[in-house]
Structure 1
Amino acid sequence: MLKLKTLLIVSVTVTLYAGYADAHPASQLRDRSYYEERGDIVWEVPTEKKTIAFTFDDGPDQRQTPKILEVLEQYQAKATFFVVGDRVDRFPEIVRMELSKGHEIGNHSYHHPSFQNLGRDSILSELTKTQQAISQATGQTALLFRPPGGSYNQYIINISKENNLQLILWSWHQDTKDWKAPGVQRIVNKVLNNVRNGDIILMHDYVYNSSQTSEALKIILPELQKRGYSFVTVSQLLSQKDDQDHHIKVTQ
């Protein structure tokens, strides 16, 4: 009788877990290499060139974004701005300014919720409304998407693909945590002490009551230039991977 009860409990548990896994794709997550090899998610780009991509989340902001744009322009740096849709609706002129200076715009959701807690319809709404906000402000469509907090599951990956959006995260060793306003030097040290070819660096152009990001860039950019680095958009960085893959195939 005890064995029968145990078998029933195990059977019910397995059935319930299977149902949970079907309903919650986050439970089916595989390791990073699986998604990288398939091109589902990009954390960084393997390249022999000394190029890196700075990315800025959570903007646009009427005070901090122009300061960051000014520093980037001073050092001929191009970057990618992952914008929040409701802020695009409030500050469309700043998004247009980003594009006019040769930077790239990516989708970072409309309200910046935690996607892990959202169903398919809500995720799709967040993406679609932001695409519409970007299009209305600039006449262009974003090709890149970064989920708030970097959270992802199979729903998020599938919806990104269905909407022709490449899911972009960041190099694990290049999370500056500037959103915590940890101090200019800590932001500087994080980038300079860990930089590698093909890095995607995570920063923010909207941090409440803080200008540490723009101040840190004034130190980071000239130092990296001295080391021979150039600064490109994420899409430009991705094209270098395609070029390198093509070169490897041709020479084999």
Structure 2
Amino acid sequence: MQKFIPRITFYGNPESNAFALTFDDGPLPPFTDQVLDILDQYNAKATFFLIGSRIEQYPNYVDIMRARGHQVANHSFYDQRTVFMKTESLMRSIRQTETLIQQTQWPKLLRPGSGWIRPDQLDAIEAEGYHIVLGSAYVSDPLHPPRWYMQQALTSMLRPGAIVVLHDGIKDPTKTVAVLPALLEEARYRGLKAVTLNQLFNQTEARRMSDNPG
């Protein structure tokens, strides 16, 4: 998919020893806290695509996540389907959220709501210094599939360079939280480390430079 849509990232370096864990739609206590605690137990890092209105409700999480070694990124201000928004409204939503998270890396990272975006929206987003990241491992946890399915599907899609998309901010993400230890156990068994998107991209860049010395 990435070779057909090169302006959007779906996965990292397939020759790395890492994969990226990402969580959408938070923060939402107590589930975000449970996710953070599990990540700590496995010395795993993740990227949280946060919704601005949720940050206003629970403002401490941005600092908490960063203090625990995680990355925060932009998921707009409300939980809306990006593709149906007017571009002007979308950009206002993104800017509102950015004032709350203040990403320091370049480009800044954004994930559109529901994963779909129009070309005119993509142009506007890139013009303000954002790069869109989707993913390669998605189990539709907002639809609340059976836990056994989620665990099996995540295991089958887990591989070097994968970008796993989960949701800590959906209505009752209990099953999402419950499958996380099994995913991290499987990753440990395979020798894969859960990292932030920046860390995964840095591995990709390091690989590109080593392949093209001088």
Q: TM-score range by the shorter chain?
A: over 0.9
Cα RMSD, aligned residues only: 1.6
Contact 1:144 1:166 in 2 (8 A): yes
Which residue, out of 52, 57, 69, partners 1:102? Answer: 69
Contact 1:47 1:240 in 2 (8 A): no
Select the structure that is richer in strand.
Answer: 2
How big is each residue's C-alpha offset from its partner over 1:198-218, in whole Å with a ceiling of 9 and x where there is no partner? 000010011212311111011
Unaligned runs of 5+ in 1: 1-30
How big is each residue's C-alpha offset from its partner over 1:101-156, in whole Å with a ceiling of 9 and x where there is no partner? 00000100101222222222111111101101224xxxx55721000011122222
- Percent same amino acid among aligned pairs? 27
Instruction: With the length of structure 1 as denominator, give the TM-score of the two structures.
Output: 0.80
Separation in 2, partners of 1:220, 1:45: 18
| Displacement of 1:32 | 4.6
Q: Which amino acid aligns with 2:127?
A: E
**1:152 equivalenced with 2:122 (yes/no):** no
How big is each residue's C-alpha offset from its partner over 1:42-67, in whole Å with a ceiling of 9 and x where there is no partner? 00013312210010000000110000
Which residue, out of 123, 130, 141, partners 1:178? Answer: 141
Q: Which amino acid aligns with 2:118?
A: N
Q: Which amino acid aligns with 1:160?
A: I
Separation in 2, partners of 1:214, 1:96: 21
Separation in 2, partners of 1:80, 1:210: 17
For 1:178-217, what aligned pairs fall within 5 Å after superposition? Answer: 178-217=141-180
Which residue, out of 69, 92, 108, partners 2:36? Answer: 69
What's the counterpart of residue 202 of structure 2?
239
What's the counterpart of residue 12 of structure 2?
45
Separation in 2, partners of 1:112, 1:209: 15
Contact 1:79 1:234 in 2 (8 A): yes
Larger-gyration structure (1/2): 1
Separation in 1, partners of 2:172, 2:12: 33
For 1:79-98, what aligned pairs fall within 5 Å after superposition? Answer: 79-98=46-65
Separation in 1, partners of 2:186, 2:82: 36
| Displacement of 1:223 | 1.9
What's the counterpart of residue 131 of structure 2?
166
Instruction: With the length of structure 2 as denominator, give the TM-score of the two structures.
Output: 0.93
How big is each residue's C-alpha offset from its partner over 1:184-228, in whole Å with a ceiling of 9 and x where there is no partner? 222111111222210000100112123111110111111210111
What's the counterpart of residue 23 of structure 1?
none
For 1:6-17, what aligned pairs fall within 5 Å after superposition? Answer: none
Separation in 1, partners of 2:21, 2:72: 12
Separation in 2, partners of 1:159, 1:147: 13
For 1:119-130, what aligned pairs fall within 5 Å after superposition? Answer: 119-130=86-97
Q: Which amino acid aligns with 1:60?
A: P
